[in-house]
Structure formats: structure tokens, C-alpha cells
């Protein structure tokens, strides 16, 4: 009889734990923005609103919208974890957490997805060729190819997203500024093709980053 009592108590504890560990409810951006139960754990998918993100004291804040719904409806998100290098403007962000009384989703999980994109390096300049033009090429839109320098790849919002290395002269590198979304296939050593312009400070302001086809 004592053993049966112990089993019953264990079962009650297990059921209580399982019942309390509820899974996140999947909702749309619009539904999350009007959530009546702010304590409910939800999972929301949306695209990052362009230039809506900033980082303060290692806390990332940004807004998302539903690309298949009303683009004017935004949901503010706050995330204290490390942002992936794929994070950027218009990337798909899958956020899990709870919406606070202030209407902000306090995310405990953040997953970003960006479709793969490829570009031919035909007619693209090497880093050395680009820099060889000097001031005459400042502000002119060009294509440049190279590889992502090891250990230089970072999240959006930084002055330098990564450094592009010349394939023929590894000591020649180019700081690249880019706040768009990067494919998760873009990693250290990836061959990439950039579109953008070199500014007077020597940074390449990229408008597009693609894997070399």
C-alpha cells in the first residue's frame, strides 16, 4: 500500500510538471499585437522591418511585420541573446516568448531564416583591383568578389559586417558595411559577390551580398 501511494504521488508531480510546461502557441503578428493574455507563451514569425533594429547593453530590439498580411501592422520584439549573422533587414525572424504589458514581445528564442542567393562573379573586380582605382572609384556602384575573412563575420548593426579578402592576395582585405539579411550559408571562407560602392573612408557599402555561383 505504501508503494502504491508513492507511485500516485510521483504521477501527480509528473503531470503537474508536464501541465506547467506548456508549448508556445503559434500566432500571427496581428494576433500577437492584440493579445489579450500577455502572460501566454507564443511563437510569432515575421519579417524584420527595415532599419528598425538597435542593440543597447547587449539587448537587441526590432520590429517585425507579416509579409502576407497588413505590412503596416508591426510587433516590437526585445531579445537578450546573441543575434545570428543572418539577422538583418527583411529577414524572416521566428520569435518565441511572451508579450508584456507594454506590447513588446520578450523573446527567449530567436531563429532567422534567409533564402540562399547566388550571383556570378563575371565582370566583378577583385579587392585589389577595386582598391587600385583609388579615389576615382569612390561612390560608383560596382561588383566585387572575394572570400569572407575568418573570424570577421558579425551580426547586422555593426560598422563592419565582415572583411572581404582578396583571393589572390590574402593580406589585402576590405571592410564591408551591410545591414541586410545574409544567407546562413555565408560563413568564414565563403566565396561571395558584393554589389555596392566604396566610400571615402575605405569601407565598401554593400547593397547586396550573394554567394558566388
Q: Which has the closest alpha carbon to 149: 133, 172, 132?
A: 172
Q: Which has the closest alpha carbon to 94: 210, 184, 157?
A: 184
Task: Quote the CA–CA distance of 60 and 175 in Å, as a whole number.
Answer: 23
pLDDT score of 38 more than 80: no
pLDDT band at 12 (very low <50, low <70, confident <90, very high): very low
Are 110 and 95 in contact by the 8 Å Cβ rule? The answer is: yes
Cα–Cα separations (whole angstroms), residue 81 to 95, 107, 176, 209:
12, 9, 24, 25
**What's the confidence (pLDDT) of residue 22?**
53
Compute the average pLDDT of residues 76-99: 89
Task: Quote the CA–CA distance of 27 and 31 in Å, as a whole number.
Answer: 6
pLDDT score of 190 more than 70: yes
Q: Which has the closest alpha carbon to 117: 177, 192, 66, 167?
A: 192
pLDDT score of 113 more than 50: yes
Average pLDDT of the residues of the chain: 86
pLDDT score of 20 more than 90: no
- pTM of the prediction? 0.63
Strand partners, 210: 193
Amino acid at each position: 500500500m505504501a508503494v502504491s501511494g508513492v507511485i500516485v504521488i510521483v504521477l501527480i508531480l509528473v503531470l503537474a510538471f508536464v501541465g506547467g510546461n506548456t508549448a508556445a502557441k503559434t500566432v500571427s503578428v496581428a494576433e500577437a499585437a492584440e493579445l489579450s493574455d500577455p502572460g501566454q507563451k507564443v511563437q510569432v514569425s515575421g519579417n524584420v522591418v527595415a532599419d528598425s533594429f538597435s542593440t543597447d547593453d547587449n539587448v537587441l530590439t526590432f520590429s517585425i511585420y507579416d509579409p502576407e498580411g497588413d505590412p503596416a501592422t508591426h510587433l516590437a520584439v526585445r531579445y537578450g541573446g546573441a543575434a545570428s549573422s543572418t539577422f538583418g533587414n527583411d529577414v524572416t525572424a521566428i520569435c518565441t516568448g511572451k508579450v508584456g504589458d507594454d506590447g513588446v514581445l520578450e523573446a527567449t528564442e530567436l531563429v532567422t531564416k534567409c533564402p540562399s542567393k547566388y550571383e556570378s562573379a563575371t565582370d566583378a573586380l577583385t579587392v585589389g583591383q577595386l582598391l587600385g582605382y583609388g579615389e576615382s572609384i569612390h561612390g560608383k556602384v560596382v561588383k566585387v568578389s572575394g572570400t569572407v575573412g575568418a573570424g570577421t563575420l558579425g551580426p547586422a548593426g555593426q560598422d563592419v559586417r565582415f572583411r572581404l579578402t582578396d583571393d589572390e592576395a590574402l593580406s589585402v582585405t576590405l571592410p564591408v558595411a551591410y545591414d541586410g539579411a545574409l544567407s546562413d550559408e555565408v560563413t568564414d571562407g565563403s566565396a561571395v559577390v558584393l554589389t555596392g560602392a566604396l566610400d571615402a573612408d575605405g569601407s565598401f557599402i554593400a547593397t547586396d551580398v550573394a554567394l558566388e555561383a
